[in-house]
Amino acid sequence: MASGGDSVAVGTGPRVRRVGFGALHLTGPDLWRPTADPDGAVQVARRAVELGVTFIDTADSYGLGASEELLARALHPYPDGLVIATKAGKTRPSAGEWLPLGRPEYLRQQAELSLRRLRVERIDLFQLHCVDPQVPAAEQFGALRTLQEEGKVRDVGLSEVTVEQLEEARRCIDVVSVQNRYNLADRGHEAVVDHCEREGIAFIPWEPLDLGRLTAPDGAVAATAKALGATPAQVAIAWLLRRSPMMLPIPGTRSLRHLAENVAAGDLGLSDTDFATLSGPVGP
């Protein structure tokens, strides 16, 4: 059974292929500064599109805007069918800090800056990076609704939310995507995945690969990869695609070789036995 050669709907835009690309690592090694190799990063972004990627995820906080600027340099004017998603709602006062900041005026400011850096008049998918516990959630969701009503945002998504937070937001605005940390080794958001599948909401797992916990030579991932002639990363992506038809993993990389491997995982088939074996408990 093929696990991911099809597409998924993300709101009102075009359907996208189910292996996307995360642009976080197109920034510097601390994810806080621009990359020291912008030409190489541009090459990776362009190659992703050449390989058929139609969904790219970034954020205002990735390299303090450097990721968005690099994507515009590499891909603008954007080809038809390509969806660029960005996020706001976390601030980066230092390289090691990611702090929630969901005040409506800040979200609106960051949306304007993202429009400028991406060189677009409307953001395809604008996601709240996290719900700021210091700001009433309704005010944060209302800011997203206002941006959409003004035509600056086409579709709205959320990141790092529970089922309850998602449903609270949906009483205010149509939510088309959820981006939570989820991978074969970390399944803490199973309930959110199931809820998104029932409701037809795209689920975008960030950090879809946790290879440190998945590549033990005597583990199920390594054994499955060997049997299929694939890499452990490809098996981990294929498992995600098989887990839910609404799954849209966004593996990121600075490597052209790893990029090609990740995209090819969309065509890797997992048998029922493979999927069941991989879905068992993951070791410590």
Structural domain tally of the chain? 1
The answer as to whether 116 is a domain residue is yes
Distance separating alpha carbons of residues 17 and 52, to the nearest angstrom: 8
Residues in the chain, total: 284
Per the structure, the complete domain to which residue 73 belongs is given by 16-213+246-255
Catalytic residue among 62, 78, 106, 182: 62
The rounded Cα 47 to chain-centroid distance in angstroms is 18
Q: What is the pLDDT of residues 38-90, one digit of tens each?
A: 999 999 999 999 999 999 999 999 999 999 999 999 999 999 999 999 999 99
Q: Is the pLDDT of residue 284 over 70?
A: no
Q: What is the pLDDT of residues 88-139, one digit of tens each?
A: 999 999 999 999 999 999 999 999 999 999 999 999 999 999 999 999 999 9
CB 89 within 8 A of CB 130: yes
Q: Is the pLDDT of residue 281 over 90?
A: no
Distance separating alpha carbons of residues 275 and 281, to the nearest angstrom: 12
The answer as to whether 274 is a domain residue is no
Max CA-CA distance within the chain? 55
The answer as to whether 175 is a domain residue is yes
The answer as to whether 149 is a domain residue is yes
Residue 75: CATH number of its domain: 3.20.20.100
The answer as to whether 122 is a domain residue is yes
Q: Could you give the percent of the chain with pLDDT greater than 90?
A: 89
In one-letter notation, the amino acid at residue 134 is Q
Mean pLDDT confidence for 151-156: 98
Distance separating alpha carbons of residues 78 and 225, to the nearest angstrom: 35
Mean pLDDT confidence for 171-177: 97
**pTM for the complete prediction?**
0.95
- Dihedral angle, C-alpha 224, 229, 233, 238, nearest 10 °: -70
Q: What is the pLDDT of residues 175-202, one digit of tens each?
A: 999 999 999 989 999 999 999 999 999 9
The pLDDT value recorded for residue 2 is 33
The answer as to whether 236 is a domain residue is no
The answer as to whether 63 is a domain residue is yes
Q: How many CB atoms lie within 10 A of CB 107?
A: 27
Burial of 57-95, coded b for 16+ CB within 10 Å and e otherwise, reads bbbbbbbbbbbbbbbbbbbeebeeebbbbbbbbbbbeee
| 182 part of the active site | no
The answer as to whether 141 is a domain residue is yes
Q: What is the pLDDT of residues 268-278, one digit of tens each?
A: 989 999 999 99
**At CA 158, angle to CA 156 and CA 162, rounded to 5?**
145
As given in the structure block, the two tokens for residue 96 are: 């090691």
CB 265 within 8 A of CB 19: yes
Three-state SS for 163? helix
